[in-house]
Amino acid sequence: MSHTEDVPFGMPYRRETRYDPPAGLLQLQEQPLRRIRYYPDGVEGWLATGHALSRRILADPRFVTGERFVHSPTELPHVFVSISEQVPPGFFLFFDPPEHTRLRRKVTGVFTVKRMKELEPRVAAIVDERIAALKAAGPGADLVREFALPVPALVICEMLGVPYADRDAFQRNSADMLDLARSVEDRNKSMAELFGYLMQLVPAKRADPGDDLLSVLAADPELHDVETAGVGLILLVAGHETTANMLALGTFALLEHPGQLARLHDDPALWPAAVEELLRYLTVAHNGVMRIVKEDAEIDGRHFRAGEHVTVALQAANRDPGKYERPGDLDVERDAQGHMAFGHGLHQCVGQQLARVEMRIGFAKLFEAVPDLRLAVPPEEIPMRSDMAVYGVHTLPVEW
């Protein structure tokens, strides 16, 4: 399709501030759905920034993930463009029903609200251990290294049955997969290495099973080893990357909003609501959720043609003034229910209840145990993860 001069090139991606989406992206909210040109060749597609419209697109089965993405909404190759080239079997993030349904059902029972409630004492114990390690490294330390990254990594390793001793390799490959500044080839190589590592674990689990999820999947006669490894790949990467960055960036945000933190010190019962608000306010999955139109569709009078790329800007949808009053403010007493930090529809994050437990317990215990926690360097010196598929901070030097 030919394009006109009034169709902008790409989705604004570079942030001007630490916590807000790009100003140019927020300006596009005047049109909750608009045409954009995709990189690298300027082909036209769609960008959704409105909350209600974004939910409708992500819930519509005509907007699919199970095809290869060849265009990116930003000048950096989108993570979907990279890993969709070499999707391993079992990596159900890129599958649609019925394959997506078949594979996702194998793990949904592990992440129910009831199961996560049962897991809370173990999460609390891990959080306590990491707070002790943080204090032992102090009185100044990197919160990412000592607390934010180890907490979800330890939890997901125990759940999956992945040796935590192997964390350096899988965390490096995981980070490289999500580094948008790296070449597509390098990111695919990192994914292949991590997939190969899991492929080695699967037969070992079958031969000597434990009470972990990989052992259960390895014993499932309906799954091939490559499918089990692919499912494990999703859970291992998503199970620590997003929560680790929320713990670190959320701590940073609260330290820079002392009035909000004071409310939480005064009333710890606000933590569940505060976690939802932090998820909405920060939206670390910040480079857009992509879909391909499977068949011609019409929503709100706009016609989507089969084969077109559509990007849903979750960070803009979560700042939609039509959904939230004063969306640019962090308000730990806000009712932020309905936010889209975990996506929406069939592909909504399967581990979202686990992430909530880790954040609720992690934040509450951290600020209770270290009430005088503060930044050890000026805020502007904190290195932000601007070119990563999951936003956050690379390090967070703190002291007390």
H helices of 163-294, where?
Answer: 167-177, 184-207, 213-218, 225-255, 258-266, 271-282
In a domain, 16, yes or no: no
Query: Mean per-residue pLDDT for 353-357?
Result: 96
The sign of the dihedral angle between the CA atoms of 213, 219, 221, 224 is positive
**Spatial CA neighbour of 336 closest among 397, 396, 398, 273:** 273
**Residue-level pLDDT at 177:** 87
| CATH code assigned at 40 | 1.10.630.10
Which residues form the domain of 173?
23-399
Query: Mean per-residue pLDDT for 75-98?
Result: 78
Query: Mean per-residue pLDDT for 240-261?
Result: 97
Q: How confident is the model at residue 5 (pLDDT cuts 50, 70, 90)?
A: low
Q: How confident is the model at residue 3 (pLDDT cuts 50, 70, 90)?
A: very low
Least confident of 79-93, 257-271, 321-335: 79-93
pLDDT digits (tens, 9 = 90+) for 150-183: 999 999 999 999 999 998 888 899 999 889 888 8
C-beta separation of 319 from 328 below 8 A:
yes
Is residue 310 over pLDDT 70? yes
Rounded percentage of the chain residues whose pLDDT exceeds 90? 77
Q: Supply the DSSP symbol for 66.
A: S
In a domain, 11, yes or no: no
In a domain, 2, yes or no: no
pLDDT digits (tens, 9 = 90+) for 27-58: 988 899 999 999 989 999 999 999 999 999 99
**Residue-level pLDDT at 1:** 41
In a domain, 18, yes or no: no
Tokens 């004063």: give the residue. Answer: 326
In a domain, 15, yes or no: no
In a domain, 113, yes or no: yes
Q: Please tell me the total count of domains within the chain.
A: 1
Averaged pLDDT of the chain: 92
Structure tokens at 278: 């932090």
In a domain, 8, yes or no: no
Question: Which amino acid, one-letter code, is at 114?
Answer: K
Is residue 382 over pLDDT 80? yes
In a domain, 284, yes or no: yes
**Residue-level pLDDT at 184:** 82
**Residue-level pLDDT at 69:** 82
- Secondary element (H or E) of residue 363: helix 352-369
